[in-house]
Structure 1
Amino acid sequence: MIHLLFISAILVCILPLLPGMAGILLPAFSWLPLMTTHQIEALTAFNLSGFHHVLSWPGVFQSMLLSLFTGITSSIIALALTFFILQANWHKPHWQKIERMLSPMLAMPHVAFAIGFAFLFSPTGWIYRVLEGLGLSTHNTASLIQDPYGIGLIMALTIKETPFLILMSTSILKQLHVDRLYASASGLGYNRADVWLKVILPQWLPKMRLPFYAVLAFGLSVVDVALIIGPTRPPTFSVLVWQWFNEADLSLLPRAAAGALCLLLIAFLTLATARLFEWLTLNYWRSWQIQGAKKRQFWGEHGYLPLVILPMCIIPLLVIWSFAQRWRFPDIVPTRLSERFWQQELPTLWELASSSFALALFSTTLALILTIGCLEYRDKYQRAIPFWLIAIPMVIPQLSLLFGLQVTTHFISGQHYWLWVSWSHILFVFPYLYLALDGPWRSFDARLYQSARSLGLTHWQAWWKVKRVLLQPSIWIAIAIGLSVSLTQYLPTQMLGAGRVTTITTEAVALASGQDRRVSAIYGILQGLLPFIFFSLALIASHHSGIQPRLNKQRSTSTDEFICGKPNYK
């Protein structure tokens, strides 16, 4: 059974990467035989016309620079802000409070946050209404929504990605034993800021490589958030490629494929540059690490407040807009409220919510089964799929990979759109589930399983009654992560669904592009509410599941000290 799950994971989540890359390379060089008769002759000979069309597009280099600027800047700021927050607050009395305050931000999808961000910072948004109410004129004031430099996009991506990096850092810092490092360095005269900069940072940064690469690749290739609050004249390069892909003329597919390939090359070069800079900073330019104590002082104790305050402003603003029948500028509050828009959209909302949940549940369930199969196969046979191969869907632009997959699906006859969309969701949910469960699986004490087998339990009984119970809290959290990741997939649903499969996310992005703000607010609320429900239920379930609390009681006087109190070995 484990062999079957391991092979299935390779077939479903790894091998499709090969035709996905082939599906972008061949059309980019103008080879696409699946065209109508009068176009076959033009698209069966390899040439560089697609790249020529890309490079000759007006403003294409400005779009590329804009993508590089917004993606790199937001990622670096998010990483730096994460480090400052950790060094100022880690293991302090209010750290658990910070984790609880950041959890709603983790649950809020990018699209819902972008819609609320637009309501807050648009030229007729609530911030400008407050300024007008204070007597300050906002005429000709610069706006953060669709500004030509992408400042608003940088702010939104930074605030949205920082909690994710903090979450990934939590498990890493627990592995580093920060308290021991701090105690040793303090004895040498280093203060807290010096310890974090010279001792913890060189160990923390390499372990944060994959989460940071995922954030960086997302920032370079984001489409849904850029469509809502990003610049438009010109747009970011990812949005420009998305517009090319939506062209009705199929003869222009080489241009879209070449653009997607260029986006992939940009992301690859950026990640390679980030890796080179990391190596130079930590291994070559090491003088800053060995200069001794400098008594530095960092100010990051309250750096988490913008990550909490902004979502706390966005959520009630979405609720108010969903009931606002008349809200003229510059009134701070609506002059008339109505539930008419909720009544109008409720039947559609129920249908979209049920279809979105069904798709998320199906893809997450299969991805979870494949993930557990791969982890069990690794523990039993000491062989595993290379983690860098699993992480490819996380660290390369979605648009580039999905374009190749979409072209590949044309070789299979039939309109299996729901199947293709669910498969693409599994492809992107699987890495996140593997990342979430890899640490708990590695930290599980194998002697507990061996003890259960020695008592006469079969392999399946020992796994179900012992290992599953102890790892159940982590499994619940992973399920919530998988459901949320699936629910927020915009490009996979649009590209492989061909418009036939609609979800809350696809409708929210479409309505946020210029429709009624009240309807956009309703879809933003629902799009943010579902992941929040998932995480809340997962936290409740993980709190009431497992037997870890009982194992931790009176360990010194029970046999658990003999089993659990020693280092883990297999």
Structure 2
Amino acid sequence: MLYLMFIATLLICCLPLLPGLLGILLPALSWLPFAGLTHPGPQAFYQALAWPGLSASVLLTLSTGVVSTVLALAFTFLILQRYWGSHRWQQIESWLSPMLAIPHVAFAIGFAFTFSSTGIIARLIATFGGDPGQLSLLQDPYGIGLTLALAIKETPFLLLMSISVLQQLNVGRLLAAGNGLGYNRASTWLNVILPQWLPRMRLPIYAVLAYGISVVDMAMILGPTRPPTFAVLVWQWFNEPDVALLPRAAVGAFMLLMLGLCLLAVFRALEWLILRGFQGWQYAGHRKQRLPGRYFHWPLIAVPLLVTPVLMLWSVALRWRFPDLLPSRFSVQFWQQETAVFTELASTSLMLAGISTAIALCLAIGCLEYRDKTGTGIPGWLLAMPMVLPQVSLLFGIQITTYMIPGQHHLLWVIWSHVLFVFPYLYLALDGPWRSFDRRYTQTANSLGLSELQAWWRVKRPMLMPAICLALAVGASVSLAQYLPTLSLGAGRVSTLTTEAVALASGQDRRVSAIYGLLQGLVPFILFALATFASRYYQSKMTSGNYTRNAKANVLVSQKPHYK
């Protein structure tokens, strides 16, 4: 059974990557039989390279993606070295889940309403007698607003990924050793902890970088339009009504893929140069160094806290003239007129999230159990491909492949695409708890007469339920945030809160946009709250009732050698 689930995972979540890549190369060479293109050639490359503003679009993508990744990485390290192990860190850690629960689209809409030329920041400046002028981070030509929004939104993710890494490093012991040798806290973090922390954060950093250069939904809301970022330009090419222009879009997707792979290689080379090639700075002996970081966590908390009230105000504002700080008239008529629509969209979004997360959970548990039994697991590089490859490029090839399959199965393709992107996050969320589980519990259950399935269900499952609950929330939030998979493989026939929020944020009524932004952020927040409640419930259940009656037996088992 576990073998079949492992094979099914490879077929569902890994095998599509191959046609996804081939679906880019063949159309890029102008070979697309269903569109009447049967003579391969380089014509599409000439069309793409001749596009006016292509170089500016690529440079804009490089600047926003790379700078936002570097800023997020710098913010993460500075916050960690300043607050890790302190009482303030516990407060920061408690805010990570609410900040991560806000989807990128909802955050982008609120960010636009906050930092536009008529946003709440400009209104505050005008209220206190200042001149906001043309202060705006919305669609500025240099992508500054998009860069800052990406950096602020991705920093909590890197902080969350750093928790398990730093726990493995035993930071307290390293700081004590450094202090004993005369190094202050900043010097120990910079010379000792950074060289060990950075390589272990490689996959999360690559995921942030890949998202930064291939993001479409946030770039459509916050990024410049003339020219747009390269990912948005490729998406516009892909949506051209003329099927004969698909090869040009394929070339764009191929270029974006190569751009992403080159950036990953550059980041890997820079990591080697900093940590291995030029190590003199690690042994220079500077014992007293200073690093900023005291107030770097406040923008990460203040901006999301400011974004949510702004969305709430706009959703009930009937009349709000600039530069008034508050609306002059309030009304709930926009909520009333959108009730039927957003109820249907929310039910569709939850249905897709529920089905895709349930499938991904079964596959992840099957693969983890198969790895525990046989020692064979999914290779890390294969698992990381949906996370580190540009989504536009990967989805273009998959969609071209689906065109060759007869029938209108748009809902099925959308669910499949969600599983493809949910599975890696869910697998990684469960990987740590599965590795740390003590197998002697199930071995003891087997020795008492329980079968493998009974031991898993009655012993291992209850002990891992807290991790499973949080992993379900992570998987559902990833599914709810999928914009490109839903829109491309659904062919516009499957609408969710995310697709509607992006469409409405492109120039429609701000009140309706605020409503969908709130709803798009509220649903994952509720799921995270329920997951946290369920996780604490199972944790409390583990310390009461039948489990505490066997406390002596558990202690006896835990003191035995851990045979695997």
- In structure 1, how many angstroms separate the alpha carbons of the residues matched to 2:45 and 2:544? 63
- In structure 2, how many angstroms separate the alpha carbons of the residues matched to 1:282 and 1:429? 33
For residue 108 of structure 1, what is the aligned residue in structure 2?
102
> Any unmatched runs of 5+ in structure 1?
none
Deviations 1:376-395 (A, max 9, x none): 00000001110110110000
Answer whether contact 1:445 1:569 (CA < 8 A) is retained: no
- In structure 1, how many angstroms separate the alpha carbons of the residues matched to 2:263 and 2:340? 45
For residue 264 of structure 2, what is the aligned residue in structure 1?
271
> Identity of paired residues, percent?
60
- In structure 2, how many angstroms separate the alpha carbons of the residues matched to 1:550 and 1:187? 43
The amino acid of 2:193's aligned partner reads I
Aligned 1:478-497 pairs, distance under 5 A: 478-497=471-490
Quick check: 1:189 aligned with 2:192?
no
Quick check: 1:463 aligned with 2:464?
no
Answer whether contact 1:79 1:162 (CA < 8 A) is retained: yes
Quick check: 1:52 aligned with 2:46?
yes
- In structure 1, how many angstroms separate the alpha carbons of the residues matched to 2:141 and 2:560? 58
For residue 20 of structure 1, what is the aligned residue in structure 2?
20
Deviation at 1:567, TM superposition (A): 7.4
For residue 68 of structure 1, what is the aligned residue in structure 2?
62
SS across alignment from 1:34: helix
Aligned 1:527-566 pairs, distance under 5 A: 527-546=520-539, 549=543, 558-564=552-558
> Any unmatched runs of 5+ in structure 2?
none
For residue 123 of structure 2, what is the aligned residue in structure 1?
129
| Cα pair distance change 1:568/1:297, threshold 3 Å | farther
Deviation at 1:480, TM superposition (A): 0.1
Deviation at 1:137, TM superposition (A): 2.2
Deviation at 1:562, TM superposition (A): 3.6
Deviation at 1:195, TM superposition (A): 1.3
Deviation at 1:559, TM superposition (A): 4.1
For residue 29 of structure 2, what is the aligned residue in structure 1?
29
| Cα pair distance change 1:301/1:560, threshold 3 Å | farther
Answer whether contact 2:116 2:135 (CA < 8 A) is retained: no
The amino acid of 1:214's aligned partner reads A
TM-score if structure 2 supplies the norm length? Answer: 0.97
Deviations 1:191-245 (A, max 9, x none): 1111111111111111100000000000000000000010111110000000000
The amino acid of 1:240's aligned partner reads L
The amino acid of 1:352's aligned partner reads L
SS across alignment from 1:545: helix
Aligned pair partner of 1:165 in 147, 158, 174 = 158
Quick check: 1:416 aligned with 2:386?
no
Answer whether contact 1:189 1:293 (CA < 8 A) is retained: no
The amino acid of 1:27's aligned partner reads P
SS across alignment from 1:292: coil
The amino acid of 2:136's aligned partner reads S
- In structure 1, how many angstroms separate the alpha carbons of the residues matched to 2:79 and 2:427? 26
SS across alignment from 1:94: helix
Moved more, 46-55 or 261-270: 46-55
- In structure 2, how many angstroms separate the alpha carbons of the residues matched to 1:409 and 1:45? 21
TM-score if structure 1 supplies the norm length? Answer: 0.96
For residue 372 of structure 1, what is the aligned residue in structure 2?
365
For residue 147 of structure 2, what is the aligned residue in structure 1?
154
Moved more, 540-549 or 22-31: 540-549
SS across alignment from 2:194: helix
- In structure 2, how many angstroms separate the alpha carbons of the residues matched to 1:203 and 1:568? 28
For residue 245 of structure 1, what is the aligned residue in structure 2?
238
Quick check: 1:397 aligned with 2:390?
yes
SS across alignment from 2:40: coil
Deviation at 1:302, TM superposition (A): 2.8
Deviations 1:254-299 (A, max 9, x none): 1000000000000000000000110111111101111124311222
Deviation at 1:184, TM superposition (A): 2.1
- In structure 2, how many angstroms separate the alpha carbons of the residues matched to 1:299 and 1:10? 46
Deviation at 1:406, TM superposition (A): 0.3
How many pairs does the alignment contain? 562
**RMSD between aligned residues:** 1.6
Aligned 1:86-105 pairs, distance under 5 A: 86-105=80-99
Deviation at 1:462, TM superposition (A): 0.8
